[in-house]
Structure 1
Amino acid sequence: MLRNMFLIITVLLVANCAAVKDPEMTRKFWYPNADELRSIDTKIVQNQALNGNTEASLILGMRMANGDRIERNPNKAFLLFQSLANENDPRAQYLLGASYTSGMGTKQNDQIAIKWFKKSALNGYDKGQYWYAHMLSRGRGVKTPNWEEAIKWFMKASRQGHTNAQLSLGEAYEQCRGGLVRNFDKAAKWYRIADSYTDNMLARYNLRRLIDLGLTDWKDGDDGKPPEKILDISKESFVPCPKGIKDPFLTDNFKIKPILG
């Protein structure tokens, strides 16, 4: 009986770990030929794009948006993303949303941006999922912030290895967002996952802060050494966040932009 229970627990733990993918694997899944295309001459990329190669078209659009090995032309990049997005390509849908939220090649419009992020998210793209969640959590493109829905999409993106989504989940557990019960150990878990994949400096800082405050334990593999002196802030001193608490990041001055790439 005990042996069977041990096997069940082991399987569950392995399944849970396997659910979080390596971001590099995710990138290769969505852009299987990206490395090859990024290394070749722009004229070849243009020819492949004209021949209907979707990945070449995406690479060309990103080059035009950033002025990378071609004259910068955000208007043409926007039209290219728009054309591919209308063909239901989730990567182009994300890039079109990014264009609208940053005002690249078009008038800035968060309401339209979040619609394209949602389409991309529903089509399974991790960047679309993260940005749809980010917009929801910050109240951008919607009437009021919706942390409950945002948490669902942060979780989906996290399982694909999106490290900023993993960071966001850690912060949500700290701040009890979206109905999550405050749990510093779970916050630390997500910070560790985020930092282990892409050297996420903010996740590492947040983890170290929790350790130094005595809110979670230092573990082998964590940055630095165990603290010699712990401030030992009692976990019981934290009360659940009241509903409707104002998010300090919900200001016009705090707006990050998605990466066109």
Structure 2
Amino acid sequence: MSDEPDTLDMDLASGIAAFESKQFSRAVGLLAPLAEQGSVEAQYRMAIMAQNGLGMLPNPLMAYSYMKSAAESGLGLAQHGLAFMYMEGECTDKNPAKAVEWFKKAADQGLVGSLTTLAMMYEQGHGVEQDPDEARRLYKLAGFDER
């Protein structure tokens, strides 16, 4: 019986700890192999580091690729991150409609930031048809009082 899963879990935990304490070079060393093997948590953090040049040179292609992979695996924070990439045109082409699609997925998981951004997009008609009622509904879901 192999103890490999325990080692992977320890590497992931150590990599996340290094990321959280801003030891980005160490985090990259621990998380890169795990991200390649499909660890969603590792992919998300590698995407952040690649996007912002933390512990490595900025790598927009890697950032987009890992963020998209983690988002497609259902990680809410990655769905929010991917939506932002589409909204801002960062690491990929600007695509407000795709941004809305991914913000909706993250909002469905209860991410308040995604609900709020989505509400703003409906309010402004950015990537969707302007819909003040939907904007109000989303702001309310996000915990804001009437606007």
TM-score of the superposition, structure 2-length normalised? 0.87
**Count of residues in Structure 1 that have an aligned counterpart in Structure 2:** 145
The corresponding residue for 1:65 is 19
Q: Classify the secondary structure of the residue corresponding to 1:106.
A: coil
1:1-261 correspondence to structure 2 within 5 Å: 51-54=6-9, 56-67=10-21, 73-142=23-92, 144-178=93-127, 180-195=128-143, 204=144, 208=146, 210=147
What is the alpha-carbon distance in structure 1 between the residues aligned to residue 139 and residue 12 of structure 2? Answer: 31
8 Å CA contact 1:111–1:140 kept in 2: the answer is: no
Quote the sequence identity (%). Answer: 26
Against the structure 1 CA distance between its residues 53 and 112, is the aligned structure 2 distance closer, same or farther, given a 3 Å change threshold? closer
**1:51 positional shift:** 3.2
TM-score of the superposition, structure 1-length normalised? 0.51
8 Å CA contact 2:53–2:59 kept in 1: the answer is: yes
In structure 1, runs of 5+ residues without a counterpart are 1-47, 196-203, 211-261
Against the structure 1 CA distance between its residues 77 and 171, is the aligned structure 2 distance closer, same or farther, given a 3 Å change threshold? same
**1:50 positional shift:** 8.7
In structure 2, runs of 5+ residues without a counterpart are none
Query: C-alpha offsets along residues 39-64 of structure 1, whole Å, 9 cap, x if unaligned?
Result: xxxxxxxxx9993252x433321322
Structure number with greater Rg is 1
Q: Classify the secondary structure of the residue corresponding to 1:177.
A: coil
RMSD across aligned C-alpha pairs, in angstroms? 2.1
